[in-house]
Structure 1
Amino acid sequence: MNHLNVEQIKEIIPHRHPFLLIDEIEDYVPGKLAIGYKCVTYHEDFFAGHFPQEPVMPGVLIVEALAQTGAVAILSEPENKGKIAYFGGINKCRFKNKVVPGDKIRLETKIVKQKGPVGIGEATATVDKKTVVTAELTFMVG
C-alpha cells in the first residue's frame, strides 16, 4: 500500500488550506487509482454559511475532493510531477446522501481512460459504506 499523509499530498498536488479537501491517501497506484479520506469537522469554513441551522457539506466540495483524490493518482506519475490537473468536465454526477460534521468521507477515484493530457475518472464518495456522491470526472493535465 502507498499511504500518504497531508504533507506528502501537498508535494503532489498544489491545493492548500482552506481548499485542500483530502486529509490522507490510504492507497494509490500512479496513473490508475487513489483512495483517500476527508474528516469533516464542525469547524470547516463552509459550515458558517451552508447552513448555520443545519450544517451540510456542499456537494460541489465533495466532487472537488474526489477530483483532488484523482489528481494524486495522475500527478504522482513521474512525467506529471509539478503539473496541475484541471477540471475538463463533470458527468453523471449524483448526490445520494448528506455529509455532516463528524463524517469521515472515503474518496475513491479510478482513472478509466487517458489519452495524452486528457482523461476520465470514475469517482465515488462514501460515508459508513453508504454512497454520498458518484461522478465521472474529466481532467486535463497542464
Structure 2
Amino acid sequence: MIDLLPHRPPFRFVDAVDECNPGRDVVARWRITGDETWLAGHFPARPVVPGVLQIEALAQAGAVAVLADPRYGERLPLLGGVEDVRFPAMVEPPADLRLAVTIERLGSRGGWGRAEASCDGT
C-alpha cells in the first residue's frame, strides 16, 4: 500500500502499512535505523528524530488511508496544517515508530483527522 504514496526515498517515511480502512483510518510503521543521513547533524553526539519529520510521517500515513479510497486515488496529498501538537518523549534511533491516523472528515477540498505517533508504547 505504500506505493499509493507519491513520496519516494529518501523522503518516504512510511515503511509498512499494518492496517488500512480506506478513507477511514490507518496504522503504519516507520523504522528508523540510525543510518539516516539527516541524523548526522541532528545531533552528532545524540541523534534525535526531528518532530517535524514525525509529523511528516503521520501525514504520509494519513495519505495512504485517503489515497486508498477510490474517490481520492488520483489526488496529490498535501499537508495543509497541524493543530495541538505535542512531543511527550524524544525518539532516538534505532526505533520503530507506530503511526496511527483516523480520518474524521473528507471532502472535495481535503480532509481532517487525528494522528498519533508512538514508539515502544509511548
TM-score range, shorter chain: over 0.9
Name the TM-score, length of structure 1 as normaliser.
0.82
Residue in structure 1 matched with residue 2 of structure 2 by the alignment = 9
Residue in structure 2 matched with residue 70 of structure 1 by the alignment = 62
- Aligned residue for 1:46, secondary structure, equals helix
Whose strand proportion is higher, 1 or 2? Answer: 1
Name the TM-score, length of structure 2 as normaliser.
0.95
- Aligned residue for 1:122, secondary structure, equals strand
Alpha-carbon RMSD across the aligned residues, in angstroms, is 1.0
Stretch of structure 1 that moved more, 115-124 or 21-30: 115-124
Q: Could you give the per-residue CA deviations for residues 73-131 of structure 1, whole angstroms, max 9, x where no partner exists?
A: 0011112223211111110111111111111100001001223222111000001111x
Contact 2:28–2:100 (8 Å) recurs in 1: yes
Q: Does 1:42 align with 2:31?
A: no
Equivalent-residue separation in structure 2 for 1:77 and 1:124 (angstroms): 21
Equivalent-residue separation in structure 1 for 2:99 and 2:32 (angstroms): 13
2:89 partner letter: N
Residue in structure 1 matched with residue 43 of structure 2 by the alignment = 51
1:104 partner letter: D
1:9 partner letter: I
1:95 partner letter: F
Contact 2:66–2:73 (8 Å) recurs in 1: no
Q: Could you give the per-residue CA deviations for residues 55-87 of structure 1, whole angstroms, max 9, x where no partner exists?
A: 000000000000000000001111222321111
Residue in structure 2 matched with residue 105 of structure 1 by the alignment = 97
For structure 2, list consecutive stretches of 5 or more residues without a partner in the other structure: none
Q: Percent identity?
A: 39
1:76 partner letter: A
The alignment covers a number of residue pairs equal to 122
Q: Does 1:117 align with 2:117?
A: no
Higher relative contact order (CA 8 A, sep 6+): 2
- Aligned residue for 2:90, secondary structure, equals coil
Q: Does 1:93 align with 2:93?
A: no
Residue in structure 2 matched with residue 129 of structure 1 by the alignment = 121
Contact 2:14–2:30 (8 Å) recurs in 1: yes
1:34 partner letter: V
For structure 1, list consecutive stretches of 5 or more residues without a partner in the other structure: 1-7, 131-142
